[in-house]
Amino acid sequence: HRRFDYRPKTDPYCQARYTFCPTGSAIPVMKKEDVIEVYRLQAPVWEFKYGDLLGHLKIMHDAVGFRSSLTGKNYTMEWYELFQLGNCTFPHLRPGIDAPFWCNQGAACFYEGIDDAHWKENGTLVLVTTISGTMFNEMAEWVKYDNETGIYYETWTVQASPDKQSTVWFDSYECSKFILRTYQKLADLGAVFKKIQTNYTSIILFSGEPIYLGNETSIFGPLGNKTLAAAIRDFYNPFKPHQTVSEFFVDLVRIIDRVILNHQFYLFYNLEYWFLPMKFPFLKIIYEEVPLPVGSKESFGI
């Protein structure tokens, strides 16, 4: 996943139904002698609206919790879409604008408190490691860098087949990937994680070798490829980036139908368009184990 120099300003056209990070706050500076507990948090996506419905499908949202021993304060940190999931997955087709218009950014959100009931009821709230205040502060610096340079949400993982060793053409970039990067950073700083099973959700598309098509200008610009531009617009046409979850899933069924009937998918990734020659089983939602990290050897001298 490509890193960018800065986060672009959001277009006023992009409106979120739910405010991004409504109670967010700056990450505090911890005293270096503090001992901070780190918690793995996981619950079904959109639980606030649909309860455990998506838990049965194992479509989970991940976050990380912290508890300071010195102050007794709890904190939650997570990474999610600025304009909800539909907008990150499908573009808007705006009248008078040839190119599909993407309202797609993801970012970290940090706030005081851990909503114990939310994470425990249908999900997970479990201690995974303890770190020093110094490690926490170094992690906070890294979060700032990660947040400013990894800006686009990517729903799909794309790989060659369901085999474990299969080629991954494109990796997703969503809430769980941020949590995994955070754990890895903590491990590199010297954190030692408990030996517990940790599973994550991935939405995987299966495709032959992707074909590079170009960027917005080369396809939709004045010297662009009119036929290709029309094909991409036509592909995205049924999939409006609706706000409601039920409509999102209706679109998902439609997209699967199209993908399976025509073996086609147009992917927008790191501001570029790719054609995916889709193949069986086309799409899978998996909930699989990703072990907690082990620090790099040199980290323990820190």
- Residue 21 is a catalytic residue: no
CA-CA-CA-CA torsion for 259, 260, 264, 265, nearest 10 degrees?
30
**Secondary element (H or E) of residue 83:** none
At residue 73, the 3 state secondary structure works out as coil
Backbone angles phi, psi at 55, to 5 degrees: -65, -35
**Secondary element (H or E) of residue 60:** strand 60-68
Amino acid letter, 22: P
With contact defined as beta carbons under 8 Å apart, do 41 and 62 qualify? yes
CA angle 76, 77, 81 (to 5 degrees): 125
Q: Which of 88, 103, 109, 175 is catalytic?
A: 175
Q: Which of 21, 56, 61, 88 is catalytic?
A: 61
**Secondary element (H or E) of residue 252:** helix 245-262
- Residue 175 is a catalytic residue: yes
**Residue 265: Cβ-neighbour burial (10 angstroms; 0-12, 13-18, 19+):** buried
Q: Which residues contact 283 (CB under 8 A, 6 or more apart)?
A: 203, 204, 205, 206, 256, 259
- DSSP symbol at 90: S
Name the residues annotated as catalytic. Answer: 61, 175
